[in-house]
Amino acid sequence: MILQVTASSAPQPQVSLLQPVPVDASASKPLLVYFSGTDGTGNAIAPQLPGLIAAGFDVRCLYIAMTNRSSWEQLLAEVLPLLRTLVADRPANQRRVTLVGESFGGCLALRLAIAAPQLLERMVLVNPATCFAKSYGGLSSFIAGTNLLSLFPETLYQAAQAVMIPLLLDPEKVGRNTVGAIKSMMIMTPPPNFKAGQGFVAADEGRRQLGGPQGLQLYLPAATASWRLRLLREGDVPDHQLATIRTPTLILASAEDRLLPSRAESARLQRVIPDARRLLLPSSGHTALLEEAVNLADIMKRTGFLPEDQPAPAPVSQGSAELLRSGAAEPESYLGSWDAIDEAYEAGAGTLELFRNIISPAMSGVEHLPDPLSTKRPILFVGNHTLYGVYDLPFLMYELYIRGFKARGLAHPSHWQGPVGEFFERYGAVKASPMAAYRLLKEKQAVLLFPGGGREVNKRKGEAYQLQWRDSPDFVRLAAKLKAIIVPFAALGADDAFDLALDTDEILGSPLLGPLARALLARVDPALDPAETVFPISKLPYTGLPSLVPIPKPERLYFRFLPAIDTTQALQNVGDAEQCMRVYGGVKARVLAGIAELKAEREADPERHLPRRLLAQAKRMMPAFDLMKDVIH
């Protein structure tokens, strides 16, 4: 669906508020106004219209003409009268709007929230381009500053626009029906017949009304694009001004945004804007609202951002490990503040991205994860540890993070005998102990537990993916006391990433290495158990040579979350040892079943090995090239 456009020689307004779906004025529905990206058309909201209309909104889209060369201040001066006129005749309780600003529109929305807060009920920012200056290490800002884009001839500019498509979206996520909307986003003439109730029309019909390829220019003129990019480059809103915003704000950030560092920027904005929340969209690209899997109305419902006459969910628990939370000051959590952990995750995630593209972790069973927006109870993730425990753990933590869980790991105390412990703490880890687990769960946090501990990390030869759990249901009993939800999970791949030269038993049994290892360990901490603390010696990949530093092969990782166990239902009597062991056995059985299922999945996976994985990723880019052709033609 695209905005309807007709060929017309009449002068067009520089800025307009369009009504894509006319509604009965007497219905007096709450207003939602959408500010779009640099295209300025408002078309990217098209896939979200059915849900927003059903949620009770009267939707308007801001249109900025392609001939508009206004500064931020001028744009604001042009938009404000439109909004004031829009709400002037509304009932007293509906003279404020819900503002949705995407990318470029997010920058304008923030300025509006500062200049005219009385007009806004709430604000949703989708991948706001306030981080444009940081995109690609400042390269985007540098190019915008040169003004070279405005000199591009039409054919070169068309090619450049098409090349941008893979950075903006994944064709497999937006669907073929969105091609028309993408085309229309590149058409800068306003649809004058919206007031006549024509609304949205099919892509082919809109194309005919343009009078064929010569009817209007298909692409946003290079000079206009250059101008708007310069606005982004020069238009940062100072933090002290952002701190004055009192409008409740929801920030949606795409974890797979290839155009802007939206994930890190959303964390920054959340810290600066007093009443801000954020939510990561784990599989979305920059133009998230075009994606079929993204339902803006549903997100707003789950986060309490629907109109006042709609039932809103209860506020999110401040103590939980959810990404969505109020930006207001809150007490520091056990061993570290949320802001510090957020910063560490964002810094680490940037480094992890390259390796994530190579390793390509396969996630399954995510439907078994509790809803991070509504669950107010503690969550205990319980699964199998893998050899060395360092290859897959960062990917697991990241995959949980982008799905709304900042899982606090219970790490072996030996890690704090060196610099590794402090590094783990940056990501929320604490020394494993019953008291630490109790305090974290009592704070309703998400906790990551490996019952196999150090013994499972230091697997012996032939023990790949075998559980080394003690026959003790202590974690079940603790979870039940604090009414926690247990989420079993299985991990596969890391045990195959290392080939062992000497395992722990062989080292300890060696007449030379054994006494040396025990002596060194005794100097560090005599209480440490050598069987759980002395790491095996691995081989360098593809050489067979021993290496004191474990270096993994690029094995693909597989994670599966199993059905959750509600301890309030599974365990009626915490003091009943038999019941506790039954639940404990159930958790263990689910993890073992998950490992078996992942092994079968891996055997059938054509992308298990790196060369085929990279080839498959290249093939997945082909729909993007096909979409380029569709958009151009």
Main-chain phi, psi angles of 447, to 5 degrees: -120, 135
- The reported pLDDT for the residue numbered 2 is 36
Structure-block tokens of residue 480:
């039940």
CA gap 100, 120 in Å, rounded:
11
95 or 105, which is more confident? 105
SS (H, E, C) 593-622: HHHHHHHHHHHCCCCCCHHHHHHHHHHHCH
314 or 479, which is more confident? 479
Model confidence over 458-514: pLDDT tens digits?
999 999 999 999 999 999 999 999 999 999 999 999 999 999 999 999 999 999 999
Q: Is the pLDDT of residue 445 over 60?
A: yes
What is the fold, at CATH topology level, of the domain defined by 338-498+552-606? Glycerol-3-phosphate (1)-acyltransferase (3.40.1130)
Q: Is the pLDDT of residue 8 over 50?
A: no
Q: What is the DSSP letter of 123?
A: E
Q: How many CB atoms lie within 10 A of CB 216?
A: 17
* Torsion on CA atoms 453, 459, 465, 468, rounded to nearest 10: -40
- The reported pLDDT for the residue numbered 337 is 56
CB 368 within 8 A of CB 381: no
Triad 169, 257, 392: Cα angle to 5°: 115
Mean pLDDT of 233-252: 91
Query: pLDDT tier at 357 (50, 70, 90 boundaries)?
Result: confident
Q: How many CB atoms lie within 10 A of CB 617?
A: 13
Q: Is the pLDDT of residue 319 over 60?
A: no
CA gap 526, 519 in Å, rounded:
9
* Edge-to-edge strands, sheet with 546-547: 500-502, 537-539, 546-547
CA gap 332, 355 in Å, rounded:
32
245 or 176, which is more confident? 245
CATH 3.40.50.720 fits 2-313, yes or no: no
The overall average pLDDT reported for the chain is 80
Q: What is the DSSP letter of 416?
A: G
Q: Is the pLDDT of residue 26 over 90?
A: no
- The reported pLDDT for the residue numbered 322 is 34
Mean pLDDT of 281-285: 90
Query: pLDDT tier at 150 (50, 70, 90 boundaries)?
Result: low
Query: Is 571 strand, coil or helix?
Result: coil
Mean pLDDT of 151-171: 62
134 or 511, which is more confident? 511
Structure-block tokens of residue 298:
């549903």
Mean pLDDT of 290-302: 92
- The reported pLDDT for the residue numbered 254 is 93
Q: What is the pTM of this model?
A: 0.77
Q: At what angle do helices 154-163 and 222-234 cross, to 10 degrees?
A: 50
- The reported pLDDT for the residue numbered 395 is 92
Q: How many CB atoms lie within 10 A of CB 466?
A: 15
Q: Is the pLDDT of residue 347 over 50?
A: yes
Q: Is the pLDDT of residue 153 over 80?
A: no
CA-based torsion, 22, 25, 31, 36: positive or negative: positive
- The reported pLDDT for the residue numbered 334 is 47
Rg value, the chain, Cα? 28
Query: pLDDT tier at 376 (50, 70, 90 boundaries)?
Result: confident
Main-chain phi, psi angles of 452, to 5 degrees: -75, -20
- The reported pLDDT for the residue numbered 76 is 94
Q: What is the DSSP letter of 274?
A: T
498 or 264, which is more confident? 498
CB 448 within 8 A of CB 468: no
Q: Is the pLDDT of residue 569 over 50?
A: yes
Burial class (CB in 10 A: 0-12, 13-18, 19+), 91: exposed
- Where are the chain's structural domains? 2-313, 338-498+552-606
CA gap 20, 35 in Å, rounded:
13
CA gap 484, 216 in Å, rounded:
60
CB 409 within 8 A of CB 424: yes
- The reported pLDDT for the residue numbered 498 is 95
CA gap 240, 385 in Å, rounded:
45
Q: Is the pLDDT of residue 559 over 50?
A: yes
CA gap 118, 409 in Å, rounded:
44
339 or 580, which is more confident? 580
Among 599, 563, 561, 592, CA closest to 365: 561
Q: What is the DSSP letter of 68?
A: -
CA gap 631, 624 in Å, rounded:
10
Query: pLDDT tier at 94 (50, 70, 90 boundaries)?
Result: confident
Burial class (CB in 10 A: 0-12, 13-18, 19+), 558: buried
Residue burial 399-429, b: 16+ Cβ < 10 Å; e: rest: bbbbbbbbbbbbbbbbbbeeeebeebbebbb
Query: pLDDT tier at 162 (50, 70, 90 boundaries)?
Result: low
Percentage of the chain lying above the pLDDT 90 cut: 45
What is the H or E stretch that residue 228 is in?
helix 222-234
Query: Is 166 strand, coil or helix?
Result: helix
Q: Where are the alpha helices (H) located in 40-153, listed in sequence order?
A: 49-54, 72-88, 104-115, 139-146
Q: What is the DSSP letter of 71?
A: -
Percentage of the chain lying above the pLDDT 70 cut: 76
Residue matched to tokens 């609304």 = 199
Most confidently modeled of 232-241, 280-289, 377-386? 377-386
Q: Is the pLDDT of residue 442 over 50?
A: yes
Query: Is 447 strand, coil or helix?
Result: strand
Q: Is the pLDDT of residue 610 over 80?
A: yes
- The reported pLDDT for the residue numbered 332 is 41
Among 212, 232, 229, 211, CA closest to 220: 229
Query: pLDDT tier at 141 (50, 70, 90 boundaries)?
Result: low
Mean pLDDT of 176-192: 50
Residue matched to tokens 């628990």 = 317
What DSSP line would sit under 350-391, residue for residue? HHHHHHHHHH--EEE-GGGS--TTT--S-EEEEE---TTS-S
Of the listed ranges 207-216, 378-387, 462-471, the one predicted with least confidence: 207-216
- The reported pLDDT for the residue numbered 177 is 57
Structure-block tokens of residue 404:
């709304």
Query: Is 10 strand, coil or helix?
Result: coil
- The reported pLDDT for the residue numbered 617 is 75
Q: Is the pLDDT of residue 553 over 80?
A: yes
Type of residue at 326: S
CA gap 241, 480 in Å, rounded:
46
Structure-block tokens of residue 545:
């040579």
Query: pLDDT tier at 33 (50, 70, 90 boundaries)?
Result: very high
User: What is the rounded end-to-end Cα distance, in angstroms, of the chain?
Assistant: 17
CB 30 within 8 A of CB 56: yes
Of the listed ranges 82-91, 458-467, 599-608, the one predicted with least confidence: 82-91
Most confidently modeled of 123-137, 179-193, 369-383, 422-436? 369-383
